[in-house]
Each structure stands twice: as structure tokens, then as C-alpha cells.
Structure 1
């Protein structure tokens, strides 16, 4: 430790570790604390479901001895309940102030900052206030951006619904993925935006998407060019709505909107009759699986987002997140209509009625309830003006 010195120009980092088995996070926890230790930062461990035994197993492979660290003042441990609560009630403002105080105390003690890990899955109970959590994380982002505080939040994915999980993930610039902390796509959504608009990039996007869609054809998922039909119709609807740039992105999204289906058993796709409960659950996961796959490729963000949302419905009855109204992006709304019209226009073993007229009647009846009325209007206009599969 460099007593009396501090790197006042250094700013911190804000990371997240997601797990559903404690054994999965030992490497992540150890790696994060070892990084802070090497950079002469004081360590703070806030525990709840995670215990000191978990911490011990995590840091031992890095040659760090917990008792020695505690005796020397290099690490401090605290209960989440004592840190987050005030009079038994969740108080995130208190937590933010405490972390700011602990950072300044670390600097005053000669450390180069504070490195803190907190396990917060218990926060997500029936009284959880998402707005307060967003406010807290935003405040911490500002402080971390100006001070040497490395903060890592740990959440058990088994106790958080998928919608909240994406929100939480999106609040952290870095996420532990496989064996290291990497930039988090969900956080940098505004920065990524529309990544590249050159003809070369568009050709690369479509080439990659076409290659992926060929996998469906090879596996025999559809008897017609479903992905190509969705791609063409989504692009046409977007152009009709004067969403010119989005049209290019939806052309790509349409080609790979069902890429998450690759994890589903082939015989489920063509199964006659109603799916079993567990089969429905698997099916409802495919937009989220597709989103997780596609966001690893540097496509423009609206592509991955539309894929995630292409089975969402305005009234919240869709999946996988149950989004409502304006929570769904315009790309997701367009892709949803294009997907329904394409799917209902062709024969499926589990459905008797099909055809373009049947499909268009479906979206017209569902306008304003399931589907965006402007998108439905643009789709109907496309067919009136001669669009065909």
C-alpha cells in the first residue's frame, strides 16, 4: 500500500455478475477482488446469500488469505441487511451515501480507492420498487464515473423475472461472461445504436443473417421461406411508415428473428395439436435466446431488440417479457405484425385456417389490442398496393 497517496485521476467501474448456482460465481468474485487488490484498493464484501465461506473459496486460488486481509485492514465485511436497510426498510439512498463515505475513507487511509462486491438478490421481493432501484443505480453510475470506486453487483437469476433481469443487466457497463468481465451490450445500447450504414456493412449484416436462416431450411423448420417472407414484409412496412433506416435493420432482423429456435427440438415445431406445458415454456424462451445470440454480433441494436420483442403484444399478453404498449420498440411492433402475417399465410400442421386473407383479418381484429394500429394500417396498405409472398 502506498500510504498517504491516492490516484485521484482514476475513475471506477460498475459491473454485474448473474448466476443461478453459487459455484458459477467463485471465479468471477475472485477475479474482481484480485483486480482491486492488485490496484491497491480497499476491499468491501457485502454479504447476504453469499457467505464468508463463499468469499474464502473465491479468493484462495488467487493467493489471498481472508484472515490476513481482515487483520491488516485490507478487507471489510458487512451484512446486506445492515447496509441497505434503515429501520428494517430498504433504503438505497443510505446505501449510496455509505459507499461514497467508504470510498473517501479508503482514500484517506492511503488506498487508491474502494473495491466493493454486494449480493442483492434479496432486494427483489414483492415490495421491490424498480423506480428507486433505477434512481440508485443512476446515482452510483455518476459517482463511479468521477471517483475510484469499483462496484460489482451480484444477482441470483432464479429469483428475478426475465423482464427485471434485463433492466438490471442494462444498468451495468460491465458483465462477467464465461471467464472475464466484458463490456455489456445491454448497457451501451445508446452508444451502439445504428452501428454502420455503409453498403458494405449492410451486405455483411444480410450475408450473416442469410447464412443463419439457411440453418432453419436445412433443419426443415418451415415448409416455406418464412424468414425471408418476414424479412421482406417487415422491410416493406417500415418503408411505408417512412422508417427508412429501420427498414434496412428489420430486413436483417426478419431473416434471423427465429434463430433462438435452434435450441428447440425439431419435432416440437411441427407437432400437431397443443404443446405440453414444458414445451410451451421452451418455445416462449426463443426470442430471449435469439436476443442473447444476436447481441454478441455487432449488428445495430434495433436488430437484436426487435428479435427480443417479436412475440410481445400491446396488452402485455405476449412473451418473453410481457411488455406493454410503448415498452415495445417500433421495430418490435413491426416485426410482430410481419411474423404473424407470414406464419398465418401458410399451412401449419397445428392450424386449419391459413392464407393471406386469414392473416390480414387477424391483425385487423387485433389492432390496438395486440398490434400497433399504425403498423397494421401500413401492412394492409402494402398488400393493397401489390405486396405478395
Structure 2
């Protein structure tokens, strides 16, 4: 604190400038946080010896509050910057995950050209059904991933069986039936935020227990798997296969409607049929 600027030797170099500005006394209080000093709070007065003990006490409190506020603001900015970097990293990881998923899906389609695009079309329909049923966005995202990958287990099935132009033998069909379990084994250790591997495992289950691989019934089957099941059946029946021409969407809708509540979830079937009949959905 300087009580008399005009006679204080510390102000000799700018005493004249202080006089021009009308400064007669001054005080400088450190802005400290812990053991560190981040700046100073300086005040001037046109009166000499202007700052008494009470005012110094108030100014000291103000300096402490100012130091705290500046530090809090800096921490807030650092937190925002860290959060932005974190979000950028998450977006990069999501893009990497999407690219990996597409690569896995393409691997199956390369081995089975007759189902090229099948997984993407199933995913499109499954997402539309889930949206119609108003599932939360995070569950729809998990369903989409599972739908794009639902046949990944067919990488274990010999290509000659996948592309066979004739009806499969019982033994060949048993090999085909392993693909949900193989798909689950491929995906189970990937840290998805949704039960993607379980959805893939269950997408050939049926409400009455007639499905595979575990013969699950009713609520034992995840809702996402019930949606994927219907989307898969509709797309598979409507599209061309090596052993038969496409049967068309009307035939597929008739199939799921005929077994509504028995093999296929009633709400899922209603949503699916409504998409095609009322909202002109196209595969």
C-alpha cells in the first residue's frame, strides 16, 4: 500500500503521470489461490492515505472472492474444453464402430451374394418398426447395429450351402441354424452399449418356442429380437433367394399376420403392417 504517491520513492518513475490522473494513494492486493498468486487487485484514490483498516479488510475479501471467481471460470473453461475433446473422441469411436460394423456385414454379403443388401434392408425395416413403436433412441440404435450384423454368423456356413439353388437337406439346415450362436460368439466380447450380441442370438426365436437356437418363448425373447425377427421374415420372403423367386411384400405380410401373437409379437406385427399399408414403406 502506498499512502502518499507524491513522496513515495517507488513511484519516482511515474509520479508525474499519477499526478496527472489525480492519484494520491494506492493499494495492491494479491489474488491468491492456495500458495499461488494469479494476479493483483489495484485501486487508487485522489486522497492521500485513503485506505483505513476496515476498507483494507473489505478489499481483501473482495480480492479473495475475485481470485476464487477467476479460478472457477478457468476451471469451467478447462472442463468445457475437456468435454469437447471427449465428445470428439466419442464421435471418432462411433465412426470407427460404424465402419467396423459395415465391414463385418460386407464380409457376409461377399460370401453370400444372394443376400447382398439383405442385412441393410432388414435394418431399415427394423428401425422403422421400432420408431413406430416409439422405442427410445438408444434402443433403436442398438437394434440397428444388431440388424446390420444379424447374419454375421453365416461366415461359418459353407458358401455352397448359402448359395444352394435347391431346398436344403436336414443336415444342411442344421448347419444354417448355427449362425445365430456363431454370431453371438463373434460379437459377445465387443463392448456395445446395447445387448447387440443377445439380439443377434435371439433373432430366430419364436413366441411359441418353435424357434432356435434355444427355443425361447414370449418375454424370454428381447423386444428388439422380436422386432428383428419380423423384419427378417418380411425381407426374406419378399426378396429373391437361390432356391425360389421373391414372394413379394403382400405374401410376407400375410405370413406374419396369420401367425400374429403365436409366432410373432402382436405389437410388432401391427406396427410392421401399418408401415406398409398406411405409410407406404418400401424395402
TM-score by length of 1: 0.47
Alpha-carbon displacement from aligned partner over 1:118-162 (angstroms, at most 9, x marks no partner)? xxxxxxxxxxxxxxxxxxxxxxxxxxxxxxxxxxxxxxxxxxxxx
Q: Partner residue of 1:99? A: none
Pairing partner for 1:332 from 207, 222, 225: 225
Secondary structure in 2 aligned to 1:370? coil
Q: Partner residue of 2:105? A: 213
Q: What is the CA RMSD across the aligned residues, in angstroms?
A: 1.7
Question: Kindly tell me: are residues 356 and 201 of structure 1, through their superposed partners in 2, closer, same or farther at Cα, counting changes over 3 Å?
Answer: farther
Question: Kindly tell me: are residues 347 and 276 of structure 1, through their superposed partners in 2, closer, same or farther at Cα, counting changes over 3 Å?
Answer: same
User: Take 2:144 and 2:169, find their aligned partners in 1: how far apart are those partners?
Assistant: 33
Equivalent runs, 1:36-185 vs 2, <5 Å:
none
1:236 aligns with 2:125: no
User: Take 1:224 and 1:212, find their aligned partners in 2: how far apart are those partners?
Assistant: 13
Q: CA deviation at 1:386?
A: 2.4
Q: Which has the larger radius of gyration?
A: 2
Alpha-carbon displacement from aligned partner over 1:54-101 (angstroms, at most 9, x marks no partner)? xxxxxxxxxxxxxxxxxxxxxxxxxxxxxxxxxxxxxxxxxxxxxxxx
User: Take 1:202 and 1:358, find their aligned partners in 2: how far apart are those partners?
Assistant: 38
User: Take 1:353 and 1:276, find their aligned partners in 2: how far apart are those partners?
Assistant: 21
**Do the aligned partners of 1:227 and 1:255 also contact (CA within 8 Å) in 2?**
yes
Alpha-carbon displacement from aligned partner over 1:161-208 (angstroms, at most 9, x marks no partner)? xxxxxxxxxxxxxxxxxxxxxxxxxxxxxxxxxxxxx65554343222
User: Take 1:364 and 1:199, find their aligned partners in 2: how far apart are those partners?
Assistant: 40
Secondary structure in 2 aligned to 1:369? coil
Aligned length: 192
TM-score by length of 2: 0.64
Pairing partner for 1:295 from 157, 172, 188: 188
1:316 aligns with 2:209: yes
Q: Partner residue of 2:282? A: 388
Alpha-carbon displacement from aligned partner over 1:102-130 (angstroms, at most 9, x marks no partner)? xxxxxxxxxxxxxxxxxxxxxxxxxxxxx
Pairing partner for 1:203 from 95, 98, 101: 95
- Higher RCO (CA 8 Å, separation ≥ 6 residues): 1
Equivalent runs, 1:241-256 vs 2, <5 Å:
241-244=133-136, 245-256=138-149
**Do the aligned partners of 2:230 and 2:269 also contact (CA within 8 Å) in 1?**
yes
Q: CA deviation at 1:242?
A: 0.8
